[in-house]
């Protein structure tokens, strides 16, 4: 009887054909992860330009002080910095903050202010990226690009719910090159605009990044008595540096 029930159509398992990139990572299906009502905009900015770019979004009307906005940061120190600077650059804006260090009473009060519309701008960490559903959130700003693409997906999913259009702004930095490839794949599948520099980062594979890091940050041998310890271990084998001790050096190889 159990076997017959398992053969019913409702209990059948369908094997999905997962598409992967050159490195074997699964490509993201934007239709099943992030709402189709979200418009994504990626800004290629440096660390010092981000706060001015955020104020520019408010001054140009791309972010409205009348609509609910979630600004995500990677650390509570950045949360405090963004809150302080926004209050200086955009005076009419009522900004609240929420981090893991906030007390339970402070969390309840902040969420109540945000849900009621008294505060329309909430600067927070990833504590609000999952598990909490806000109604009528129109804007999401990735002030700090997350370390993982899944976190970016959950952050972006805070807006564009219940058929309400949402706008997601990402401040991308070169340090976040590890999520460039899945981010570009998602933007392509949702037919969003892709900055040329972001596409260039996505085209660089992990192997190319590792090779360039070895070139710009040479490694040395582990033995301090090595007469050639000032030269990169990976650079030996050339006519200038013979390969007569390469096997022994590889056994004691340690990066700095």
Pairwise CA distance, residues 109 & 115, whole Å: 10
Distance of CA 5 to the CA centre of its chain: 43
The pLDDT of residue 131: 78
Phi, psi (rounded to 5 degrees) for 170 = -120, 125
Could you tell me the domains of the chain? 30-205 (3.40.50.300), 218-251 (no CATH)
Summarised one tens digit per residue, pLDDT across range 32-83 is 456 668 999 999 999 999 999 999 999 999 999 999 999 999 999 999 999 9
pLDDT along the chain (256 residues), means of 10: 46 43 51 68 93 95 94 94 95 92 92 92 92 87 94 92 90 90 92 92 66 46 51 46 54 54
Token pair of 49 as six digits: 């330009």
* Nearest in space to 212 (alpha carbons), one of 221, 222, 201, 223: 201
């Amino acid at each position: 009887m159990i076997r017959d029930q398992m053969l019913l159509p409702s209990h059948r398992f369908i094997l999905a054909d997962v598409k992967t990139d050159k490195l074997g990572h699964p490509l993201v299906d934007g239709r099943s992860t992030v709402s189709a009502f979200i418009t994504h905009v990626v800004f290629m900015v440096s660390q010092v330009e981000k706060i001015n770019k955020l104020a520019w979004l408010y001054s140009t009307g791309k972010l409205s002080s009348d609509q609910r906005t979630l600004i995500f940061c990677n650390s509570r120190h950045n949360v405090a910095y963004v809150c302080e600077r926004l209050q200086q650059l955009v005076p009419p804006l009522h900004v609240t903050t929420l981090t893991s260090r906030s007390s339970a009473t402070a969390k309840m009060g902040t969420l109540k202010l945000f849900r009621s519309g008294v505060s329309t701008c909430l600067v927070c960490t990833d504590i609000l990226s999952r598990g909490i559903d806000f109604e009528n959130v129109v804007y999401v700003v990735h002030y700090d690009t997350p370390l993982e693409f899944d976190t970016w997906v959950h952050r972006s999913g805070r807006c564009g719910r219940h058929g309400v259009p949402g706008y997601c702004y990402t401040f991308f930095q070169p340090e976040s090159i590890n999520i460039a490839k899945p981010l570009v794949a998602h933007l392509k599948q949702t037919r969003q605009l892709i900055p040329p520099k972001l596409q260039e980062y996505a085209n660089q594979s992990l192997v190319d990044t590792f090779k360039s890091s070895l070139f710009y940050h040479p490694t040395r041998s582990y033995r301090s008595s090595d007469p050639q310890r000032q030269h990169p271990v990976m650079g030996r084998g050339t006519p200038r540096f013979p390969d007569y001790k390469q096997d022994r050096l590889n056994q004691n190889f340690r990066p700095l």
